[in-house]
Amino acid sequence: MHPNQQHRLDPAKIIQTAENLARRVSDRLPESTLAGLSADLAEIARVTDERARQARKPNLIIRGTGRLASALCIWGLWYIVDHIQTHLINAHLEFGTISDLFEAADAGFNMLVGLAGVLWFLVTIEARFKRKQALAHIGELLEFIQLVDVTQLYYTPELYKSNALADNIPLRFDHTYLLFCNEMLGVIGNLAPLYTRGNMDDSVWRATSDVVMLANAIQGRLFAKSEAIRLANDADASWAPIDAF
For residue range 184-229, list pLDDT tens digits in order.
999 999 999 998 887 777 888 999 999 999 999 999 888 888 887 7
d(CA 56, CA 52): 7
pLDDT of 236: 55
Rounded (5°) CA angle 214-215-217: 65
Q: How far lies 146's CA from each of 10, 31, 202, 243, 245, in Å?
A: 25, 21, 24, 18, 16
Q: What confidence category does residue 235 fall into, taking pLDDT thresholds of 50, 70 and 90? A: low
Q: Where are the domains of the chain?
A: 10-60+125-233
d(CA 11, CA 195): 11
Q: How far lies 229's CA from each of 39, 150, 158, in Å?
A: 25, 17, 10
pLDDT digits (tens, 9 = 90+) for 20-54: 999 999 998 888 888 999 999 999 999 999 988 88
d(CA 237, CA 235): 7
Q: How far lies 106's CA from each of 86, 101, 102, 109, 113, in Å?
A: 20, 9, 6, 5, 10
pLDDT above 70 covers a percentage of the chain that reads: 56
